[in-house]
């Protein structure tokens, strides 16, 4: 009896293990055809974080139960990873740059890979964590905290190639998930707080050879450098994952703050192309257009939030659009073909802009810059959103964002001079004096994706660092900073299910199907929790 049980167990386990399939580019383009998988960081190239699965739905979500939990081996910093799931195998990352492959039904580990990191890793203004992987062909791609891009064999975790993206000693460090497109792996870097020069890179998926690099801020003397005064242009890092339109062959990436951050005295001008959305030709790496959300930024309002691509009529005409909930408190809609501004409406309290001109340039309220004594401005330094992803449901046409209602006293300090190629180890320039916790809150908000009008909201005790997930079961999953994980009705915002996980959630939930059952997975504290119906 014992032996036969054992054989059964092995056979059962052998099903997913033997099913490592090739993930072709075509599969990534049409990921909607296989909702059982979660093939890319953002759920699809449009970063919609929408799943067609509906086994778990408004009628039965109340019965959701824990299926398994996975505790990371390092009692670490923030767990910010959102997993990728391919044909029953899940690839998740653990701080600082570890990749683990596991059976998606049980959480049983298949392999794990960790880079050999230098003894001293420079991580300026960021946690030493990782947000996820990309998969293409039979290869898993991960970027490391010391700014390498590594290709791993999907079956074994063995290294196929290791590309040195940039010098960590200069302040470059990567936490973002790469994005895999047709034969190319796209990756940026963090480090704006350290005064690095931002870029977006493409690497050959097979060989690791760099195909192109687009600098996001000009070198001194180059076009655009006139928007920096005499300063060495610095910052504008692409520290989060971006989106891709396969038809237009355009990549859409947000860029981070200029450096130094809170004191802009030495960098008069708009500081192109920081705090902007850039559209990049995926073959050449050339910038097709840009849209700057916060010219001459001094509040650390990076625009690195993942943009969501969607198609919808505007004024009766079908349009290819891009929606982005910005850290500065506004929800923007742009034409993703031309980059033209369509609208911007506040989705949280904001006290820095009166409105916008026809081109989407903000009309700034005087006196909202950081000051010696501190200037109270909404949103706070950590923003109306941060790196976590919103979602969009093509069924409800709503944009679901975990909004953060909070202000900061922005303090200006000594200006720092950026020196090319040298990290600013002490960033200076200022900071914040945050408000009390009882003067802040959060909310899941459902915005009409075209008009930005708030259709419903579900209040949270405090501003959260959790993304949202929308499903065809007409559900929105998200979490709180206190440790609640919950499901809301996607049409009404009514809470339908909740569990307290006992520690802060700091990632994006995802969903997949394995062994005929739909799962929802999220991390809290140092543990991943996977839920399914009984």
Partner 1 sequence: MNAIRCSWVGALAAMVWGFGMAPLAASPKPAAKPQVIRDMSPVVARSSPADLAVGKKLFEANCSTCHGLDGAGGRGPDIQGVAMRLGDQPTGSIIRGGIPGTAMGAFWSLTLEEAGQVLGYVKTLGASATGTVTGDAAKGRATYEKSGCAACHIISGEGGGIGPELTRVGAMRGPGYLRATLLTPGAELPHEAGAMERGRFTLYLFMHAVTKDGRAIDGMRVSENSFTIVLQDAAGRFHALRKLELRELKKEPGKSLMPSFKDRLSAAQLDNLVAYLASLKGAQ
Unique residue bearing structure tokens 């690497």: 203
- Site residues for partner 1, 464-503, by CB under 8 A, read 465, 480-484, 486, 495, 498, 500, 502-503
At 252, which helix (H) or strand (E)? strand 250-254
375 touching partner 1, by CB under 8 A? no
Provide, rounded to whole angstroms, the least separation between the CB of residue 453 and partner 1.
24
| Maximum distance among all Cα pairs of the chain, rounded to whole angstroms | 79
Span 324-363, contacts to partner 1 by CB under 8 A: none
Interactions with partner 1, residue window 427-446 (CB under 8 A):
427-434, 436-438, 440, 442
The binder of partner 1 chosen from 128, 249, 451, 527 (CB under 8 A): 128
- Is residue 372 annotated as part of the catalytic site, yes or no? no
Beta bridge partners of 70: 528
18 binds partner 1 (CB under 8 A): no
Contact between 143 and partner 1 per CB under 8 A: no
Q: Which of 179, 304, 475, 487 binds partner 1 (CB under 8 A)?
A: 304
Question: Using the rule CB under 8 A, is 417 a contact of partner 1?
Answer: no
Q: Which of 37, 48, 72, 78 binds partner 1 (CB under 8 A)?
A: 78
Among 154, 282, 406, 418, binds partner 1 (CB under 8 A): 406
Burial classification of residue 228, based on how many CB atoms lie within 10 Å of its CB (0-12 exposed, 13-18 middle, 19 or more buried): buried
Nearer to partner 1, 203 or 456 (CB): 456
323 upstream amide cis, omega within 30 of 0: no
Least distance CB 477 / partner 1 (angstroms) = 14
Provide the CA 72 distance to its chain's centre, in angstroms: 21
Q: How far apart are CA 513 and CA 150, in angstroms?
A: 28
CA-CA-CA-CA torsion sign (70, 76, 82, 86): negative
Q: What are the structure tokens assigned to 334, written together?
A: 């742009």
**Mind giving me the DSSP string for 395-420?**
TTTEEEEEEEE--EEEEE-------T
What is the spatial distance between Cα 476 and Cα 524, in angstroms, rounded to a whole number?
18
Please give the Cα distance from 493 to 470 (Å, whole number).
12
Question: Is 215 among the residues that bind partner 1 (CB under 8 A)?
Answer: no
411 is an interface residue for partner 1 by CB under 8 A = yes
Minimum Å distance from CB 409 to partner 1?
8
13, 121, 314, 533: which one binds partner 1 (CB under 8 A): 121
Taking CB under 8 A as the criterion, the residue among 157, 374, 394, 415 binding partner 1 is 374
Q: Which of 103, 146, 201, 300 is an active site residue?
A: 300
Residues involved in catalysis? 300
């Amino acid at each position: 009896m014992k032996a036969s049980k054992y054989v059964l167990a092995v056979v059962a386990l052998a099903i997913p293990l033997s099913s490592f399939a090739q993930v072709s580019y075509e599969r990534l383009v049409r990921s909607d055809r296989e909702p059982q998988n979660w093939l890319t960081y953002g759920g699809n190239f449009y970063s919609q974080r929408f799943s067609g699965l509906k086994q778990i739905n408004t009628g039965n979500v109340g019965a959701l139960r824990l299926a398994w939990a996975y505790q990371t081996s390092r009692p670490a910093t923030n767990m910010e990873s959102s997993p990728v799931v391919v044909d029953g195998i899940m690839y998740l990352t653990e701080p600082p740059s570890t990749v683990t492959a596991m059976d998606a039904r049980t959480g049983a580990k298949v392999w794990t890979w960790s880079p050999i990191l230098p003894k001293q890793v420079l991580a300026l203004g960021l946690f030493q964590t990782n947000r996820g992987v990309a998969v293409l062909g039979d290869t898993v791609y991960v970027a490391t905290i010391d700014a390498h891009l590594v290709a791993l064999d999907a079956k074994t975790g063995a290294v196929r190639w290791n590309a040195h993206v940039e010098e960590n000693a200069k302040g470059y460090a990567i936490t973002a998930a790469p994005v895999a497109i047709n034969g190319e792996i796209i990756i940026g870097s963090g480090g704006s707080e350290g005064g690095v020069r931002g870029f977006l890179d493409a690497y050959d998926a097979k060989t690791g050879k760099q195909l192109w690099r687009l600098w996001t801020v000009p070198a001194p003397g180059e076009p655009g450098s006139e928007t920096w005064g005499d300063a060495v242009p610095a910052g504008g890092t692409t520290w989060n994952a971006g989106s891709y339109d396969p038809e237009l062959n355009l990549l859409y990436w947000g860029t981070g703050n200029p450096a130094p951050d809170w004191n802009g005295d030495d960098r008069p001008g708009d500081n192109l192309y920081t705090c902007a959305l850039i559209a990049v030709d995926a073959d050449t790496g050339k910038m097709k257009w840009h849209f700057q959300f916060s010219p001459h930024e001094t509040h650390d309002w990076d625009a690195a939030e993942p943009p969501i691509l969607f198609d919808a009529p505007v004024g009766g005409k079908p349009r290819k659009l891009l929606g982005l909930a910005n850290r500065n408190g506004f929800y923007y809609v742009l034409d993703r073909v031309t980059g033209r501004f369509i609208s911007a409406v506040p989705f949280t309290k904001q006290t820095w802009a009166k409105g916008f001109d026809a081109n989407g340039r903000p009309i700034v309220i005087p006196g909202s810059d950081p000051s010696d004594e501190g200037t109270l401005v909404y949103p706070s330094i950590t923003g109306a959103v941060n790196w976590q992803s919103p979602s969009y449901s093509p069924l409800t046409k709503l944009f679901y964002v975990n909004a953060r209602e909070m202000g900061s006293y922005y303090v200006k300090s000594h200006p720092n001079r950026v020196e090319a190629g040298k990290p600013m180890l002490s960033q200076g320039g200022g900071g914040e004096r945050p408000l009390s916790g009882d003067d802040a809150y959060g909310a899941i908000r459902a915005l009409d994706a075209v008009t930005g009008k708030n259709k419903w909201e579900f209040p949270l005790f405090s501003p959260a660092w959790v993304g949202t997930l929308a499903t065809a079961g007409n559900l929105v999953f998200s979490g709180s900073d206190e440790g609640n994980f919950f499901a809301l009705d996607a049409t009404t915002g009514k809470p339908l299910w909740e569990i307290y996980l006992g520690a802060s959630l700091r990632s994006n939930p995802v969903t997949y199907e394995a062994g005929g059952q739909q799962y929802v997975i999220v991390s809290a504290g140092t543990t991943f929790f996977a839920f399914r119906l009984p």
